[in-house]
Amino acid sequence: MTSFLEKEINQQPDVINNLITKHSSDIEKITNSLRKKPPRFALIAARGTSDNAAIYAKYLLSGINKIPSGLAMPSLYTLYQFIPDM
C-alpha cells in the first residue's frame, strides 16, 4: 500500500514538468528580473517537513548565490500562539 507521502513524492516530476511547460514565460520574467536586481536577503517561511527543504534552500541561497538568508518561525506564532512583549 502506497502512503500519501509516497504518492506526493512520486508526483513531483510531473508537477515540475507541468510548472515549467505551462509557466515558462513567467519563470523567465522572474529570473530576468532577479538577474537585473538581485535580492539583498531572503527570508524563508516553512512549517513541518517543508522546514527541511527550507534549510537546504537557505544553504543554496547563502552558499552558492551569496544571498544572506534566514528561516522564519511561523509555527511559533500560529501553532504556539506566541505573542512577543513589546
Which tens digits make up the pLDDT trace of 22-54? 999 999 999 999 999 999 999 999 988 888 999
Burial-class residue 83 by CB neighbours within 10 Å (0-12, 13-18, 19+).
Answer: exposed
Q: Which residue has the cell 512520486?
A: 10
Q: Residue 44, Cα to own-chain centre: how many angstroms?
A: 6
Q: Is the pLDDT of residue 84 over 80?
A: no
| Predicted model pTM | 0.62
